[in-house]
Structure 1
C-alpha cells in the first residue's frame, strides 16, 4: 500500500469522522432542515463545477424519478433525520448508530433480494440491539430507545435502502456521476425549506455557517473523491476496509472540537454494537461490502 492510498484512507476516516461533530456545531446556528439544505447547496455547487470541468453527462430522462427517490433516501432523509437526532445524541454516539447500516443492509437483502441470512447475521443483529440500548442509556434516553436514537437509526435505514438498490445505476453511470445526480436531486427536494434560510444565514454565528460549508465540501464531496480513488487503485473491498475506524475518529474529534467526553456506558455500548456489526459485516459478500460503505 503506497503513501497516496494511506493518505486517502486517513482523509476518509478524518472527514467522515468529523461530520458528526460538524453537524453538532452547525446546529448551534441552524435548524436541522436548514443545515441539511445549506450543506446540500454547497455540495451541489462544488459538484456542478466538477461536472462542468469533466463534461459529465446527464442521466437519461427515464431514470430521473428513481434518482430523485435515491436522493430523497440517501441524502434528504438521511441528513435531516441525522441532524434532528444529533440535537439530543452526542456526535460519537451518532457515528456508532450510523455504523449499524450493514445490519439493515443484510435485513433488506433478505426481504427484497431473497438473500439468506445465517445464524451469524442474526447473532450480530441481537448483539447490536443490546449495544444500541446501552448507547441510548448513555445518551440520557433510559433503557428504552430515545427519540434522537430512533431518528438516527431511521437515518441509517434510509442510507441502507440507498445502497442496497443503487447497484444497477452505479454500473450504468459510475459512482461519482450517480452520487452527483442524487445530491442534486436531494437539493431540489430540500428547497421546500428554502424559506427562512436567508434569515438564518444572517443570524447564525460565523462558526455554525463555516461548519455547514465544511460539511458540504469535505465530508459530502472530497471524502467521496478519496473513496473513488482508493476503489480505482485497489478495489472496493480495500476502500471499505478502514471505515470501521470512523466512529473512533468521531469520538476523538468531538472530544477535541466540542468537548464531548463519552460516558463509559456509551463506550461500552459502542464496543458491543461494533462487535455485533462485525458479525454481519464479515458475512457479507465483497459486492455487498462495496455497496454498504460509501458515504456518511
Structure 2
C-alpha cells in the first residue's frame, strides 16, 4: 500500500507506469463492483445503519494504518476545509452508504449498481447548474436517454418492496453525486488520502447512534456477515479508493472516469456467480440505457 502513496513523477508515464495505472484502476472497479454483491449477501444479517457503521469504522482504521506509513503524518486543515470534508462525509460516505444498504434489501446487486451509476450524470447536471459549466446538447440528450433507462428499470419493479428499492438506489445516486460535488471543492484545500481518511472518521462518528443496534445484531449475526462487513471496509472502501487515487493522480480524470462504466458489469457478473442473481430483462436493458446516457452526457 505504500506504493499507492508515492508522489507523481514529473515525467510522462512509461509502459511500466501505465501498466500500474491499469492495474490500480482495474482493482478499484472490481472492488467497487464486489461491494454491491457483499452488501446484498449480508443484508439479511445486519440492518442498513449498523452495517454502514461497521463498514466505515473498519475503513477508518485501515486508512489510519495507511496514513501512518507516511512519515511524519501531517494533517493541517483550515476550518473551511474541515467543514467541507465533514459535509461530504455526512452526505456521501454516511448517507449514501445507508441508502444503498437499504435499497439492496429490496433489489438485486446488479440492478442497484446500474441505478447508482447514474451519479456521474447527476454530477454533470449539478456542475452545469452550480459551477457554470452549462448544458451542452450531449448532456441534454444523455440525460433523456438515462432517464428513459431508469424508467424502464422501474417498470420491472413488481411490488411495493421493489419500488422502495429502486427509489432508495436513486436516492443513493443523488447523495453520491452531491458528495462528489462537495468533495470536488474540498480537494482544493486538502489532499485526497487525507480527505478520504478523515471523511471515514467523521462518517463513523455520525453513525454512532446505531452502535447499540450493531452490538445487538452482531451477537446473532453469522461469522460470514461480520467478515463481509470487514471486507467492505478494507477492500472496496480503503483499498479501492486508495487505488483509484493512485490512478487518478497519474492519468487525466476525464479518460479515467470512463472506467467506472465497468462497475455495474462487474457487479452483475459477480452477483450471478456468487449469489445466483441477475437483473430482469427490463433491468438489463434499462441499465444499458442508463450507462449509454451517462456516456453520451460526458462526450465532448
**Are residues 1:179 and 2:219 paired?**
no
Match of 2:28 in 1: 12
**Unmatched tracts of structure 2, length 5 or more:** 1-14
Structure 1 CA distance, aligned partners of 2:251 and 2:80?
Answer: 33
Q: Please say which of residues 72-81 and 59-68 is displaced more in the overlay.
A: 59-68
SS at match of 1:172: coil
Match of 2:41 in 1: 25
Deviations, residues 19-51 of structure 1 (Å, cap 9, x unaligned): 100111121210011110000010011112222
User: Which of 85, 91, 114 is the aligned partner of 1:96?
Assistant: 114
- Alignment TM-score, normalising by the size of structure 1: 0.89
Deviations, residues 213-255 of structure 1 (Å, cap 9, x unaligned): 1000111010111112212333333432311111100000001
Match of 2:215 in 1: 198
Match of 1:293 in 2: none
Task: Give the root-mean-square deviation of aligned CA atoms.
Answer: 1.8
- Alignment TM-score, normalising by the size of structure 2: 0.88
Query: Is the alpha carbon distance of 1:273 and 1:184 closer, same or farther for their aligned partners in structure 2, counting shifts above 3 Å?
Result: same
* Mapped contact 1:90–1:139 kept (Cα < 8 A): no
Match of 1:287 in 2: none
SS at match of 2:277: coil
| TM-fit CA distance, 1:141 | 5.0
Deviations, residues 173-193 of structure 1 (Å, cap 9, x unaligned): 111111111111111100011
Structure 1 CA distance, aligned partners of 2:242 and 2:116?
Answer: 21
Structure 2 CA distance, aligned partners of 1:120 and 1:231?
Answer: 24
Write the mapping of 1:128-147 to structure 2, written as runs, cut at 5 A.
Answer: 128-141=146-159, 146-147=163-164
**Are residues 1:115 and 2:133 paired?**
yes
Deviations, residues 28-81 of structure 1 (Å, cap 9, x unaligned): 210011110000010011112222232141523453333221111111110000
SS at match of 2:39: helix
Match of 1:49 in 2: 65
Q: Please say which of residues 156-165 and 184-193 is displaced more in the overlay.
A: 156-165
**Unmatched tracts of structure 1, length 5 or more:** 284-296
Match of 2:12 in 1: none
Structure 2 CA distance, aligned partners of 1:176 and 1:236?
Answer: 16
Match of 2:95 in 1: 77
Write the mapping of 1:187-226 to structure 2, written as runs, cut at 5 A.
Answer: 187-226=204-243
Structure 2 CA distance, aligned partners of 1:262 and 1:188?
Answer: 35
Figure out how many residues of one structure are paired with residues of the other and give that number. Answer: 281
| TM-fit CA distance, 1:158 | 1.0
